[in-house]
Amino acid sequence: MSEKGIKNFNKRIEAIEEILAAAAGGDFAAQIDIDMDAADLLTSVETGINLLIADLGEEVQESRKRADDLAEKLELIEKQRKAIEELSTPIIKIWDEVLVLPLIGALDTRRSQKLTESLLTEIALTQSKIAILDITGVPGVDSAVANHLLKTVSSVKLLGAHCVVTGIRPEVAQTIVHLGVDLSDVETLSNLSEGLKWAFRHLKLMAEARKS
Amino acid sequence: MNLVRIKEERDIVVARSAAKKIAQEMGFGLVDQTRISTAVSELARNIYLYAGQGEVHIEADCNPRSGLRITFTDQGPGIADIKLAMTDGWSSVKSMGKGLPGAARLSDHMEIQSELGKGTTVIIEKWLPE
Amino acid sequence: MLESNSIPILKLKEFLIVSIQTDLHDRMAEQLQYDILNRISETSAKGVLIDISALEMVDSFIGRTLADTAKMAATLDADIVIVGMNPAVAITLVELGLSLEGVYTALNLDEGYELLQKITTADGEDIQNPDSEDSVVEDMNEPGSD
């Protein structure tokens, strides 16, 4: 039979099972004791298993390290994202009752919600009548971004202030029209200096109306 | 856990105030508190308008993310076409038709189960920002 | 909660002033609409300031009631300006899908008062129409067509 010439067959098979069970449980440190002086048919199997488990142990360690590195990197990215978020949402009070919000970087739902929140809070706090949203630094203005802007503008209006969007580049104008986004309810101007002129004209008109 | 029974129109106010209070205690910001109380107002009104009565359960902490889970149950007529009911501007009784889609937009997650003649369960979740 | 359903409506010269200081339930909002329209009719008021700065929440029902009241008041030759909406309320209303188009808004009572004076003293037929584009007044503070 196959057991012929193999010493302690049952005991050794048991040892192999134990080692495999340990490996399955994540422990790759244990190895099968091999008596090289009394090599027989089973010895090569035992050696093979030992090598395999050693390799597996190394692999697992390697991949754990990679996972740790990845988690560390993700954490870093998250930290940087937060830093960027904070850095890129300054609200500048450029004149009495005039706020400028220069938007830089991609506008997703989350960021535009945060922006709207800070802008509206600032308007309420300073009782500013005009907010200029400059989108020169926003790449890839698509229908989603345009809709975010529309929402911001609508909520500024509800507060009783006015909103003008500046920094519409020619290609942005093209995209907006191609996408069929309706910005007709939004005051849009080509650049920030036009926006400022608009704001001053607006304030002057209001002041004049107040006098009369 | 908090339970508000919707039987009359005033209970809508009770439900939304309770939700706002719990949201505030959990550390939600003012805008999120307002989103939550508004969504509760819309869905509690739906119970009142469509089913006459029902219940609003407000629970803190939902898996996998911590936040608020609010369950609206009624034994009303049920919704025949949920997809249609989720369409902006659609309404079968005198209302704005903003209830369901509006509440969905104000929440982070929404589930609707409804059976004609048996009733409706709407679950909304709002998660705390990480 | 108090059983009283009425929110006081004050008259100041040709304007009415309403300050909502309590959480509105539906019937209360409807009652307020009715009361405002009646007072406009009784006093021939030219404008109404509604201060909602104390409102912590405006849902679709209250939002629609306010917008409807403005439209109804316009048919009685009075303009309504909604004053002092909270940032959180404004954000939520827009997300809900309501932008109260055609309703005048102002940051505070002072601004609202000035705005009312402007729109009610400006000559021409388009005073009644917030969506008109011609008049100076509309250009300055008109809600719909900015």
- Say yes or no: B44 contacts chain C, CB-CB below 8 A: no
Using the beta-carbon criterion (under 8 Å), do B45 and C95 form an inter-chain contact?
A: no
Size of interface B-C (CB pairs under 8 A): 71
**Sequence ranges of the domains in chain A:** 9-85, 92-211
Could you say which residues from 15 to 74 on chain C have a Cβ atom under 8 Å away from some Cβ of chain B? 23, 25-27, 56-61, 63-64
How would residue B98 be classed by pLDDT, with cut points 50, 70 and 90?
low
* Closest to A133 (Cα-Cα) out of A180, A191, A75: A191
CB contact under 8 A, C146 and A202: no
A55-70 confidence digits (pLDDT tens): 999 999 999 999 999 9
Number of C-beta neighbours around residue C41 at 10 A: 12
CATH tag for A92-211 (out of 3.40.109.10, 3.30.750.24, 1.10.3720.10, 3.40.50.2300): 3.30.750.24
Q: In what order do the strands lie in the sheet with C47-51?
A: C9-12, C15-19, C47-51, C79-83, C104-106
Q: Which domains does chain B have, with CATH numbers?
A: 2-127 (3.30.565.10)
Give pLDDT, residue A88. Answer: 64
B120: enclosing H helix or E strand: strand B119-127
Percent above pLDDT 90 for chain C: 67
Q: The tokens 């509440």 sit on which residue?
A: B103
Quick check: A151 and C114 CB within 8 A? no
3-state secondary structure of B56: strand
Q: Residue C57 is nearest to which of B10, B38, B45, comparing CB atoms?
A: B38
Which chain A residue shows the shortest CA-CA distance from C111? A160
Residue type, C51: D
Best C26, C27, C57 member to test B by mutation, with max B CBs in 10 Å, is C57
Q: Residue C50, SS3?
A: strand
Measure in Å the smallest separation between the Cα of C5 and chain A Cα atoms: 26
B31 vs C: CB within 8 A: yes
- Judged by a CB distance cut-off of 8 A, whether residue C4 touches chain B is no
Which CATH number does C9-141 carry? 3.30.750.24
pLDDT score for A189: 92
- Residue B49 in contact with residue B95, Cβ under 8 Å? yes
Contact criterion met (CB < 8 Å) for C92 and B99: no
Chain C residues whose CB is inside 8 A of the A160 CB are 82-85, 105-108, 111-112
Considering CB atoms only, which of B9, B34, B106 is closest to C89?
Answer: B34
- Mean pLDDT for back-to-back runs of 10 residues, chain A (212 residues): 69 88 86 81 87 90 94 91 73 93 86 91 95 90 86 94 92 86 85 93 80 64
Shortest CB distance from C60 goes to which of B16, B35, B102? B102
What number of C-beta contacts closer than 8 Å exist between A and C?
78
CB contact under 8 A, B106 and C96: yes
Q: Pick from A108, A206, A120: which is nearest to A157 by CA?
A: A120
Are the beta carbons of C60 and B10 separated by less than 8 Å?
A: no
Query: How confident is the model over B28-68, as pLDDT tens digits?
Result: 999 999 999 999 999 999 999 989 999 999 998 767 778 99
Disruptive mutation site among C27, C96, C100 for chain B (greatest number of B CBs within 10 Å):
C96
Nearest CA-CA distance, residue A210 and chain C, Å: 7
Q: The tokens of C117 are what?
A: 């004076």
Sorted by sequence, the CB contacts under 8 Å of residue C121 that are 6+ apart come out as none
pLDDT digits (tens, 9 = 90+) for C108-135: 999 999 999 998 887 444 443 444 443 3
State the residue for tokens 């300050």: C19
Q: How many residues comprise chain C? A: 146
- pLDDT the model gives residue A109: 83
Which sequence spans correspond to the domains of chain C? 9-141
Q: How far apart are CA B118 and CA B81, in angstroms?
A: 14
Task: Tell me if chain C has a CB within 8 Å of the CB of B34.
Answer: yes
Most A-contacting residue of C52, C94, C96 (CB-CB within 10 A), to test interface: C94
Contact C56 B42 (CB under 8 A): no
Give tens-digit pLDDT for A154-200: 999 999 999 999 998 888 888 888 888 888 878 899 999 999 999 99
d(CA C25, CA A67): 54
C103 with C82: CB under 8 angstroms? yes
Bridge-based pairing state of the strands B119-127 and B109-115: antiparallel
**pLDDT grade for C140, boundaries at 50, 70 and 90:** very low
Q: Which of residues 92-121 of B touch C (CB under 8 A)?
A: 95-96, 98-99, 101-102, 105-106
Closest residue in chain C to residue B31, using alpha carbons only: C88
Interface contact B21, partner C, CB < 8 A? no
Distance, in Å, from the CA atom of A69 to the CA atom of C97, rounded to the nearest integer, reads 44
Share of chain C above pLDDT 70, in %: 80
